[in-house]
Structure 1
Amino acid sequence: MGVSVSYSITLRGNNLAMRELRGNSEDSYKMLYSYLYMLEQVNFGRTTRVELDEAGKFKYLFIALGACIEGFKVMRKVILVDATFLKNGYGGVLVFAKAQDPNCHHYPLAFGVLDGENNASWTWFFEILTTVIPDSSEIVFMSDRNQSLITAVANVYPQSHHGHCIWHLAQNVRNHACNTIKAVVAWRFMELARYYTVHEFETAYASFKVRYPSAFKYVEENTNRETWVRVYFPGCRYNLDTSNSVESMNSAFRDARSMP
């Protein structure tokens, strides 16, 4: 004979089982300093920082392993940054800063936990990051167009260059295209970003203006060419023009984000 239970009862039962299996968020936060102490014992040169609010409660966390910091000296100086939501009871976002090694493999640089994507939290994260990766004209940041992130990079890393992920930008451009196949517009826009000479770009951009006037208007009014066009970008971002690789790290942490 079957048993019928409500959704709320099932959810409470599931949460209780997960709590017994994984522990709870409150206990996990209490163990944070012990974890960072043990991390210090086995990772020479690591940098960790915890920020508390006025009430003495957890606010921000920053972790950069010593080996990752040391290895960045021989990496391409392009740092990809992104944040993804945490799904525990306290919310917040998990931040990734990563690079790419010469074999195009993921190279993690730093992790952070912030209360959200705002000016104060992003500024705090980059201020700690600059203690291990100093500001330099060689540094390039690649990210989506989160305004708080853009502002923080400009303030904390004034010598660096900041490029926008052309995939994310292309999705915005396609949404402003009219009377055409939007996927084609996004593909054409990404082609524009990758030309190697000014002449090739200007010729293709003029054609883009004629074929997709509404999308062209959005690009002109909402972007700066130096942030997305290869030939106008002032820094050296090598083969990196999207933040898709850091999205892969988000996917790898998908299950962990809902755990204590």
Structure 2
Amino acid sequence: MAHEMVYGTWESSVQKLPKYLGALQKYNPGTIVEWQHKARDTSTGAYVIGYVLWAFQPCIEGFQHCRNLISVDGTHLYTKYKHKMLIVATMDGNQQVLPLAFAIVDEESLLSWKWFLRQLSRHIIRGRRGICLISDRHAGITRAVRECLDFVPPNGVHRYCLRHVCSNFNSKYKNVVLKDHCWRAGSEYQIRKFNRTMEEIKKHSLEAFQWLDRIDKEKWTASHDGGWRCGILTTNMSECINGVLKGARRLPLTAIAEMTFQRSVHYFRERLLGCTGFELVHDPTIRISSRLGRNETTRIHDEMDWAQRRARQQAQQRNSSTQSDVPVPGSQD
């Protein structure tokens, strides 16, 4: 196939992945890579990859200046091997999504989520307290969170994505009106309005009311959240990164890792341009000011250029002082 000619096969990509991630660590100090291998392959003697996680140093440091909020999500890889990609993201003070870490696991299970959350605690959270983790209601996540102290009060909390709650609710009762009421109940910030909406659900269906009432209200409603969510009700942060990488999910592992690196670089470049107001172009001596609306040329000078400019300035100063000492014809003492 054409993409195999460009990116290689899945098997060859798996062999290249350790070398590629090692190069990222070498040339991007602070980048984190963690492996969890399965038993050796009896036929080849090589280790079989179970899980692998990577996080780029600028993303890790950037999280220290973001909200105490992270969103995790898992998605399928469209390959002959049924691996999953796990993504964690946060949001900065400018309402921009910041990717934090990526992982490839063989399946979404209690073991894989426990391993993933442990790596987040160790490399991303780093003892920071008051973290709110938003996820769907996957059984593996909910059980793994209970065993991770960073997301258990008083250190942190776990909250459910309201959109997933409404989706599960609608899958069971298949009623658009009830689904709308479910979303309204979860997104209300006042308890009295939440109670009123729940009463409307109860009038339509007692069974639907009881289904929602069995879910811990702190985990899915804004009215009982206590302010942990910072107004974020869904996992759209991590799903946004999933959407950006959708095309890469058909590629081999090394190509996926390379795509996450390129997208992360693009993120920081765009944020830099948004802060400085300058648009970078290929010529390193040229920059275009979007604020002033005109081209502004600058040259990158090394020490020799600086010395030459300084010498010219001193020569001009000597010439100007010499000319000022010459008497002007017709002048009087």
TM-score band w.r.t. shorter chain: 0.7 to 0.9
Hey, what does 1:202 align to over in structure 2? 195
Where in structure 2 are the equivalents of 1:141-156 lying within 5 Å? 141-156=133-148
Amino acid at match of 1:172: N
Residues 33 and 53, structure 2, Cα contact 8 Å, conserved in 1 = yes
Does 1:111 pair with 2:102? yes
Hey, what does 1:184 align to over in structure 2? 177
What CA distance in whole angstroms lies between the structure 1 residues aligned with 2:182 and 2:127?
Answer: 31
Does 1:165 pair with 2:158? no
Q: Aligned match of 1:123 in 96, 107, 114?
A: 114
What CA distance in whole angstroms lies between the structure 1 residues aligned with 2:186 and 2:194?
Answer: 8
Cα RMSD, aligned residues only: 1.7
Where in structure 2 are the equivalents of 1:34-113 lying within 5 Å? 34-55=19-40, 56-113=47-104
What CA distance in whole angstroms lies between the structure 1 residues aligned with 2:96 and 2:200?
Answer: 36
Residues 181 and 197, structure 2, Cα contact 8 Å, conserved in 1 = no
Amino acid at match of 2:33: T
Q: Aligned match of 1:212 in 201, 205, 210?
A: 205
Amino acid at match of 1:258: R
Hey, what does 1:139 align to over in structure 2? 131
Residues 161 and 234, structure 1, Cα contact 8 Å, conserved in 2 = no
Amino acid at match of 2:220: W
Hey, what does 2:259 align to over in structure 1? none
Q: Structure 1 regions of 5+ residues with no counterpart?
A: 1-14
Amino acid at match of 1:57: V
Residues 53 and 59, structure 1, Cα contact 8 Å, conserved in 2 = yes
Residues 81 and 141, structure 1, Cα contact 8 Å, conserved in 2 = yes
Residue-pair matches, total: 241
| Structure exhibiting the larger radius of gyration computed from Cα positions | 2
Does 1:174 pair with 2:180? no
Amino acid at match of 1:120: L
Residues 135 and 160, structure 1, Cα contact 8 Å, conserved in 2 = no
Structure 1 position 259, deviation (Å): 1.0
SS of 1:94's equivalent? strand
Amino acid at match of 1:37: G
Amino acid at match of 2:144: A
Amino acid at match of 1:73: Q
TM-score, normalised by the number of residues in structure 1: 0.86
Residues 69 and 133, structure 2, Cα contact 8 Å, conserved in 1 = yes
Where in structure 2 are the equivalents of 1:7-18 lying within 5 Å? 15=1, 17-18=2-3
SS of 1:95's equivalent? strand
Residues 114 and 121, structure 1, Cα contact 8 Å, conserved in 2 = yes
TM-score, normalised by the number of residues in structure 2: 0.68
Hey, what does 1:4 align to over in structure 2? none
Q: Which runs of 4+ in 1 moved over 4 A?
A: none
Amino acid at match of 2:147: N
What CA distance in whole angstroms lies between the structure 1 residues aligned with 2:62 and 2:7?
Answer: 33
What CA distance in whole angstroms lies between the structure 2 residues aligned with 1:175 and 1:126?
Answer: 29
SS of 2:64's equivalent? helix
